[in-house]
Amino acid sequence: KISVQITEVNAKKRNLVVSRRALLEAERSEGEGEFWSTVEVGQDFKGVVKTLKDYGAFVNIGSVDGFLHIGEISWSRINHPKDVLAEGQEVDVKVLKLDNDKKRISLGMKQLAQNPWSSAGEQYAQGRTVPGKVTRLTEFGAFIELEPGLEGMVHISELAWRRVGSVGEILKVGETRDFQVVEVDTKRKRVSLSLKALEKRPESAKPEREEEPEAAPSEPRRPRNTNLRGGTGSSSGRGMFGNPSDFTG
């Protein structure tokens, strides 16, 4: 037996028109109204993945469908939702945003797991040696996954004590190496790493001590002739260049 909704009655022909679809739509509409009257930001739901897109997934949470953006699926970097989700999969989600006018719901999955940055300051203290996996190489350095959802960066100048032409000379994507933590900034979500800090600094890399130049000897000052004064004359009898008697034999 199935439930249907009567959509048309013809008494003369003693005929009834029924619709299963109309019943489901009516039930869905009633359920949506009840959902929107009670749903709140921060609520948790169990849902089912309906459709996967390049930028996220649509998840049914009962009477309505919500959207799960790719950036809200995991603390780790993922290239496509299909890497971690499949259509028909049951998932736990949290309501992040509500738009009652447009009837849109933004969902999140990673919010139900611990944020790795919440303890990064203690876990990756300055000077600590930590293992990491090389995930990406750039012209200026490499990104290192320290744990799911938390990446650090080692600058090309921190790869070796010698001059490095390209990052690929030292590191390869996929390999795991030990690094030393140079600095951690939990607010900006950045961890600076160093590879060369784990190696002994060669003598050739140590800066030479510059010798301070000797100060040049100062020239002795000539004694000042107090008799030479400027002016055209004075009451003392001295002329423009002093006392005239100074120039007589």
> Does residue 232 lie within any of the structural domains?
no
142 pairs with which residues across the strands?
A: 137, 154
151 and 89, same domain (yes or no) = no
57 and 124, same domain (yes or no) = no
> Does residue 227 lie within any of the structural domains?
no
Query: CA nearest 46: which of 102, 109, 98?
Result: 109
Neighbour count for residue 29 (Cβ, 10 Å): 11
Select from 112, 134, 156 the last residue of a domain: 112
Q: For all residues of the chain together, what is the average pLDDT?
A: 81
Handedness of CA 30, 32, 35, 37 (dihedral sign): negative
**Residue 124: exposed, middle, or buried by beta-carbon count in 10 A (0-12, 13-18, 19+)?**
buried
> Does residue 244 lie within any of the structural domains?
no
Q: How many domains does the chain have?
A: 3
19 and 80, same domain (yes or no) = no
In the block, residue with structure tokens 């953006």: 69
7 and 17, same domain (yes or no) = yes
120 and 197, same domain (yes or no) = yes
138 and 199, same domain (yes or no) = yes
pLDDT in tens, 103-118: 899 999 999 998 999 9
Decide if pLDDT at 80 tops 90.
yes
> Does residue 241 lie within any of the structural domains?
no
Select from 112, 138, 157 the last residue of a domain: 112
pLDDT in tens, 172-227: 999 999 999 999 999 999 999 999 999 988 877 666 555 555 555 556 666 665 55
- Residues 6 or more apart whose Cβ sits within 8 Å of residue 224: none
158 and 199, same domain (yes or no) = yes
Average pLDDT of span 43-50? 94
Which residue range(s) make up the domain with 3?
1-38
Helix (H, G, I), strand (E, B) or coil at 117: helix
**0.75 surpassed by pTM:** no
In this prediction, residue 71 carries a pLDDT of: 94
In this prediction, residue 111 carries a pLDDT of: 94
CATH of the domain at 69: 2.40.50.140
Beta-strand relationship, 104-108 and 65-69: parallel
Give the Cα separation of 239 and 246 in Å (integer): 11
In the block, residue with structure tokens 């995930």: 135
Average pLDDT of span 11-20? 60
Decide if pLDDT at 241 tops 50.
no
122 and 195, same domain (yes or no) = yes
Q: Tokens standing for 222?
A: 């000539």
In the block, residue with structure tokens 């002994």: 200
Return the DSSP state at 125.
-
Helix (H, G, I), strand (E, B) or coil at 245: helix
> Does residue 213 lie within any of the structural domains?
no
Query: CA nearest 88: which of 50, 132, 119, 131?
Result: 50
What is the CB-side half-sphere exposure of residue 231 using CA atoms within 13 A? Answer: 12
In this prediction, residue 23 carries a pLDDT of: 46
129 and 143, same domain (yes or no) = yes
Phi/psi of residue 208, nearest 5 degrees: -75, 145
82 and 132, same domain (yes or no) = no
Decide if pLDDT at 139 tops 90.
yes
123 and 169, same domain (yes or no) = yes
143 pairs with which residues across the strands?
A: 136, 153
Decide if pLDDT at 249 tops 80.
no
pLDDT in tens, 176-190: 999 999 999 999 999
> Does residue 240 lie within any of the structural domains?
no
Decide if pLDDT at 240 tops 70.
no
